[in-house]
Amino acid sequence: MQKTLTINYQEYESEQELNATDRELIAAARKATEGSYSPYSHFSVGAAVKLGSGDIVTGSNQENLAYPSGLCAERVALFTASAQTGKGCEVVALAIAAVDSNGKAAEASPCGACRQVMIEQEQRQGKPLRTLVALDDGRVREYNSAVDLLPFVFDAEL
Ligand code: THU
């Protein structure tokens, strides 16, 4: 039987349509691109997570000559937040921004591995993790839950 899956997300024409908290988170993600180590892709990605405490933790992509050893900005930020806050870290929102080799704004839609980590963070905290992706033309895409980014997620009872 043919079935159809619908994914929910919102898009804003500009950051100005967002509230001050979300604008601040995107600004933190954009600033975090400056910490990117990306000599191979020349693609700088920054991520900023807003914790339940109100704190913001940032990360950027860190590459390595042995390519798979590098890590995306999203996982650097999420793992840093978890490592620094210990048990019970709640991530309310994750913002992502990127710039290309010409310093121009670029779109970084989270990769599959990051989506898997985002959804486990969401499951762990029992509350949705909102994602904001700054697009290359000034628009912002928003997902209310990591579930919308990864349908049919691996979810074994171990
Ligand atoms: N990258 C991220 O850090 N986040 C994304 O959402 C997409 C891709 C990184 C991985 C690699 O360092 C570079 O961007 C190019 O793929």
Other residues' Cβ atoms within 10 Å of the Cβ of residue 153: 15
CATH number at residue 133: 3.40.140.10
Report CA(3)–ligand 1 centroid distance (Å): 32
Q: Please tell me the residue having the least CA distance from ligand 1 atom 2.
A: 72
In this structure, is residue 133 part of a structural domain? yes
CB distance 93 to 22 below 8 Å: yes
In this structure, is residue 79 part of a structural domain? yes
Would the pTM of this model clear 0.85, i.e. be above it?
yes
In this structure, is residue 28 part of a structural domain? yes
CB distance 98 to 72 below 8 Å: no
Residue 157 has pLDDT above 80, yes or no: no
In this structure, is residue 154 part of a structural domain? no
- The pLDDT tens digits for 96-126 are 999 999 999 999 999 999 999 999 999 999 9
In this structure, is residue 32 part of a structural domain? yes
Q: Please tell me the residue having the least CA distance from ligand 1 atom 4.
A: 72
d(CA 114, CA 13) in angstroms, rounded, equals 25
- The pLDDT tens digits for 133-142 are 999 999 999 9
Residue 89 has pLDDT above 80, yes or no: yes
- The pLDDT tens digits for 11-54 are 999 999 999 999 999 999 999 999 999 999 999 999 999 999 99
Give how many domains the chain has, as a whole number. 1
**Exposed, middle or buried: residue 10 (CB in 10 Å: 0-12, 13-18, 19+)?**
exposed
With a Cβ cut-off of 6 Å, ligand 1 is lined by: 38, 41, 43, 45, 61, 63, 70, 72-74, 96, 108, 110-111
Report CA(109)–ligand 1 centroid distance (Å): 9
pLDDT of residue 106: 98
Over 39-75, what HEC string results?
CCCCCEEEEEEEECCCCEEEEECECCCCHHHCECHHH
Closest ligand 1 atom, CA of 60?
3
Partner residues linked to 141 by β-bridges: 11, 133
Residue 66's domain spans which residues?
Answer: 12-139
